[in-house]
Structure 1
């Protein structure tokens, strides 16, 4: 069966459905969440869109509490899972193309979710249709399982698997080819300032970032009781470091902003953290106790170091690489307190409890306390496993790429399965633009991925 030729013949159908899905602004919206839409109207609409497509094509579909669902085909006791998600992170700023339109230019389709994870979801969906339409007799059931809260904690699949069976094996089309068999642990850490904040503090407010899993691209601070030449010093700082930002005087206060560059928290080195940039300037301007403690901690721990070296949180192993830290949300307010929320992506062999204990003692020297808000353990499937070898074999037929399996600091749905891996759909050499402005998917690669997924379904379920 020439799956690539079949996928190419249905390119218009694939792109039309992807555009429709991208046009749904499926960002977590807890302020408008209801019992019927637990994560807000956008994620629910995206889920309903996919399930309706499944119904229209004659698949078995099921909605689990409006947080997740599945589209199923095949017969048999064993179940193959393709775990996808249709929620997306906020669009952020600095887009050239509309983030929720699906505009096509020069062989690329642009939009939030194009590569994470709406594009891969639609590729997997086309693969399901190709296999069904080919009339191939499958000996196992195959489900696309669709989540709506992947970007904010996996609550969707947690609920789903309380009510539905766990796949025997499966994959998540939400990362890189050739295949990812090692996913780092992901912990959410809160570093909270112990010092009481009074209205007399020079730092009135500080805000940077909305999600711990994104590098903040904008930071804003309000300061008071500072030197009269603050504007000149800040403009010099911006010019010296080739940065974009602003400073304005509002009564007896100054409002300061700076722009960075967004990136996924699993690769913070690919972004420029606006919160760290702003703290770095303020460190030489602020002298009151809480203000100085706050910005000094940010600069000392996170400036120029994504590995947590200062707190002894750093660790490396061969199967999953470096541990990384992303200070994704930074807040300071005299009533709400001050904290730095960090996404810790730690190696498979990381001694978590030991490292956290040591770091807790070290942050106390800065006047901070460390709390673990959540923790998802690392996930690993050995390279010699039959699932890994089958998927690698399929991928290599289409690419002649003999690369070894990879590790990732990203967390995919593969980690919730008893035996699952991440399988595409970013090809080697492609830039990873997930969570960035002007996110895109290369159309030719989208079609090739659909063909790979179709053949993978047949190989796993035959």
Structure 2
């Protein structure tokens, strides 16, 4: 049977885009202060999950909601199950948008909104691939299950809960990365750094705050400093203006008596690729490191300025490692908090590490370096070890063949620092929806997805899902 997948997607373009627009309007950021028994990650992720599941009910699929943690949309019968994993939660919108991040805008053949490329757009494209197969009544030998998550950007507690109640699919993919395929993912672990507070110096660090999530490069940072006299205040503000001119950052300072508030703007990016961001917190700490702080405040600034600034590969921290297949370890310093009235300061370091090194080696490097400045460490429980599915696996071979036939481009394996739901399965990969050469705006202001790529991905997904399940 020959199926014109492009024709089938073209016939549904308007419906696909409208479904995506409606889904993007749901502000599905995790909000821990609004958690209830009915909304385990806050109302936004729950509402987006319900919205996606409602599409499945509308279109006549078998739908199951697992206590508002996650759910699935299912079609077909068979002894084996093909799993497709998408997520409805998004990282915080942050600052710097030209449009409302939750009022989708289509311009220049792109759709702008938080979640457009990560991961609502790709999820809708894959869902429509599954929907086309159902509407055409194509014969299948396997069950297709589209698993919908709501906590991928935080701790994956949605999948922990889901798989306590549901069986894992036998194999599958997540539409949450790049084509041709992602068949390897680095290990992923966040380590909290704790430092004693204290101010015994000529200058007082009242507060230092930066970052929205561990997996985002901080695009903004703020520090509040009290100087010993008016002359020192003037010196601080003048020096800050000079510093901004000499570095790839922007910012402002404001004065209230002897207290100066510094706001610095860098560039946000996905924490899996910290090298493409400009970490506002570390640039601010480098400026402050020239002044006479003491005690805990000095140690906090020194750790950030001397060990974390522009050290995305962990060389200063003695955690650097490179594997021939998986590449280099990366480190994102994503969260910072110092408050004069608290006992401890806090920094979150997110490591994406290749096979060949270990969590224990990373912890040893931290102890050897910033541990000497009084830092203590705690490893967050959501720790993922490196994941790899060989190129000769039938899943990988089939997905690459589909990509090649629809693009005319040679398929190849890829290994990333990002973590996707593909790694939930032993035979799980990430597959699209971004094409080679795309502009990566995930976790950044003005996130968008090309409409051409959205529809082209839906064509590939429809064919791939059918080949895997027929």
Q: Is the 1:102–1:109 Cα contact (8 Å) retained in structure 2?
A: yes
Q: Is the 2:184–2:414 Cα contact (8 Å) retained in structure 1?
A: yes
How far apart, in 1, do the equivalents of 2:197 and 2:451 lie? 53
Structure-2-length-normalised TM-score? 0.96
* TM-aligned CA deviation for residue 196 of structure 1: 4.5
Most deviating of 235-244 and 245-254: 235-244
User: 3-state SS of the aligned residue for 2:183?
Assistant: strand
**For 1:318-337, what per-residue CA distance to the aligned partner results, in whole angstroms no more than 9, with x for missing partners?**
22111101110011112332
How far apart, in 2, do the equivalents of 1:285 and 1:242 lie? 21
* TM-aligned CA deviation for residue 402 of structure 1: 1.1
How far apart, in 1, do the equivalents of 2:113 and 2:169 lie? 31
User: 3-state SS of the aligned residue for 2:468?
Assistant: helix
Q: Which runs of 4+ in 1 moved over 6 A?
A: 198-201
1:244 aligns with 2:246: no
Structure-1-length-normalised TM-score? 0.97
How far apart, in 2, do the equivalents of 1:352 and 1:35 lie? 34
User: 3-state SS of the aligned residue for 2:64?
Assistant: strand
Most deviating of 200-209 and 391-400: 200-209
User: 3-state SS of the aligned residue for 1:72?
Assistant: strand
| Counterparts of residues 358-373 of structure 1 (less than 5 Å) | 358-373=365-380
1:378 aligns with 2:386: yes
Q: Is the 2:209–2:222 Cα contact (8 Å) retained in structure 1?
A: yes
How far apart, in 1, do the equivalents of 2:346 and 2:69 lie? 30
From 238, 248, 261, give the equivalent of 1:232.
238
From 340, 343, 346, give the equivalent of 2:350.
343
Q: Is the 1:59–1:71 Cα contact (8 Å) retained in structure 2?
A: yes
From 318, 323, 330, give the equivalent of 1:317.
323
How far apart, in 2, do the equivalents of 1:289 and 1:14 lie? 58
Most deviating of 53-62 and 218-227: 218-227
How far apart, in 2, do the equivalents of 1:50 and 1:235 lie? 48
| Counterparts of residues 239-278 of structure 1 (less than 5 Å) | 239-278=245-284
Q: Is the 1:18–1:102 Cα contact (8 Å) retained in structure 2?
A: no
Q: Is the 2:199–2:205 Cα contact (8 Å) retained in structure 1?
A: no
From 289, 296, 321, give the equivalent of 2:302.
296
Q: Is the 2:175–2:432 Cα contact (8 Å) retained in structure 1?
A: yes
* RMSD of aligned Cα (Å): 1.4
**For 1:437-459, what per-residue CA distance to the aligned partner results, in whole angstroms no more than 9, with x for missing partners?**
11111101111111111111111
How far apart, in 2, do the equivalents of 1:185 and 1:151 lie? 16
| Residue equivalent to 2:137 | 135
**For 1:38-82, what per-residue CA distance to the aligned partner results, in whole angstroms no more than 9, with x for missing partners?**
111111111111111111111000000101000000111111000
User: 3-state SS of the aligned residue for 1:237?
Assistant: helix
| Residue equivalent to 2:332 | 326
Most deviating of 185-194 and 22-31: 185-194
| Residue equivalent to 2:405 | 397
Q: Is the 2:186–2:353 Cα contact (8 Å) retained in structure 1?
A: yes
**For 1:300-344, what per-residue CA distance to the aligned partner results, in whole angstroms no more than 9, with x for missing partners?**
112222011112111111221111011100111123321210111
How far apart, in 2, do the equivalents of 1:37 and 1:141 lie? 29
Are residues 220 and 162 of structure 1, via their aligned partners in 2, closer, same or farther at CA, if it must alter by over 3 Å?
Answer: same
| Counterparts of residues 150-161 of structure 1 (less than 5 Å) | 150-161=152-163
Q: Is the 1:179–1:405 Cα contact (8 Å) retained in structure 2?
A: yes
How far apart, in 1, do the equivalents of 2:296 and 2:55 lie? 55
User: 3-state SS of the aligned residue for 2:102?
Assistant: coil
| Residue equivalent to 1:76 | 78
| Residue equivalent to 2:92 | 90
| Residue equivalent to 2:453 | 445
| Counterparts of residues 419-438 of structure 1 (less than 5 Å) | 419-438=427-446
Q: Is the 1:81–1:143 Cα contact (8 Å) retained in structure 2?
A: yes
Most deviating of 195-204 and 330-339: 195-204
| Counterparts of residues 276-291 of structure 1 (less than 5 Å) | 276-291=282-297
Are residues 164 and 198 of structure 1, via their aligned partners in 2, closer, same or farther at CA, if it must alter by over 3 Å?
Answer: farther
1:56 aligns with 2:58: yes
* TM-aligned CA deviation for residue 22 of structure 1: 0.4
* TM-aligned CA deviation for residue 105 of structure 1: 0.4
**For 1:120-176, what per-residue CA distance to the aligned partner results, in whole angstroms no more than 9, with x for missing partners?**
010011111100011101111001100000000111011101100100000000001
Most deviating of 192-201 and 97-106: 192-201
Q: Structure 1: which 5+ residue stretches go unaligned? A: none
| Residue equivalent to 1:458 | 466
Aligned residues: 462
Most deviating of 16-25 and 91-100: 91-100
How far apart, in 2, do the equivalents of 1:47 and 1:292 lie? 45
**For 1:15-41, what per-residue CA distance to the aligned partner results, in whole angstroms no more than 9, with x for missing partners?**
100000000000001111110011111
Q: Is the 1:43–1:86 Cα contact (8 Å) retained in structure 2?
A: yes
